[in-house]
Amino acid sequence: RKEVEQDPGPFNVPEGATVAFNCTYSNSASQSFFWYRQDCRKEPKLLMSVYSSGNEDGRFTAQLNRASQYISLLIRDSKLSDSATYLCVVNENYGQNFVFGPGTRLSVLP
Amino acid sequence: NAGVTQTPKFQVLKTGQSMTLQCAQDMNHNSMYWYRQDPGMGLRLIYYSASEGTTDKGEVPNGYNVSRLNKREFSLRLESAAPSQTSVYFCASSVGTSGSNEQFFGPGTRLTVL
């Protein structure tokens, strides 16, 4: 079983839609969680960290469920510019071992 | 600030050739990383350097060597390239050794081994 799993998509949604991505991780000792965004043929960039209490940044909301070992990302009012691949990243034991999921591809259609 | 820079952007090698991928950061970060990204897979850690003077293996270190030349620079060397090393290579840096720190990535090097 892969350490971090994501639905690869693609998710094709119309502008203005709400879309949610889930990510599951296998190591219960994982301590830090992130969502990164990667545009086509570009480098990943941090979208947001995921905190235990959940956190929101504008149209983006991230949730963590430690008991079920999954992380979610909710995007409201999708924009064309949201089209990208979203990478779930998990860090174990506050060390250097960052484990990346394979990514979920989102296409927002006009 | 340029952030994290990588050279070259593209490279084609023949099996058995060697090359060094260069990475530099100007953010005074302590930690630096090398990843490879293959289709359908997440980024996989090759090597990392928690601080100047130290390097450690990641998930997929075989076939690679690294050098933390100074605080700014972290190079990745392929001694004898193989087709399985065809990939996109990303260098990254972060402020410190805490796993809660954001990683900043370079633009990547697209390597093809024939």
Looking at the predicted structure, is the pLDDT value of residue B24 above 90?
Answer: yes
pLDDT value at position A2?
Answer: 67
pLDDT in tens, B36-88: 999 878 899 999 998 888 999 988 999 999 999 899 999 999 999 999 999 99
**B32, closest residue in chain A (CA to CA):** A96
Cα of A5 vs its chain's centroid, Å: 11
pLDDT for the residue A28: 87
A-interface mutation test, from B29, B31, B103, most A Cβ less than 10 A away: B103
Q: What count of CB pairs under 8 Å joins A to B?
A: 60
Provide the phi-psi class of B2: left if phi over 0, else alpha when psi is between -120 and 50, else beta. alpha
Q: Which positions 59-98 of A are in contact with B (Cβ < 8 Å)?
A: 87, 91-98
Residues of A in contact with B107 (CB under 8 A): 42-43
Residue with tokens 């990346």: A100
Contact A91 B48 (CB under 8 A): no
Amino acid A93: pLDDT: 63
Confidence category of residue B96, pLDDT binned at 50, 70, 90: confident
The distance from CA B95 to its chain's CA centroid, rounded to whole angstroms, is 17
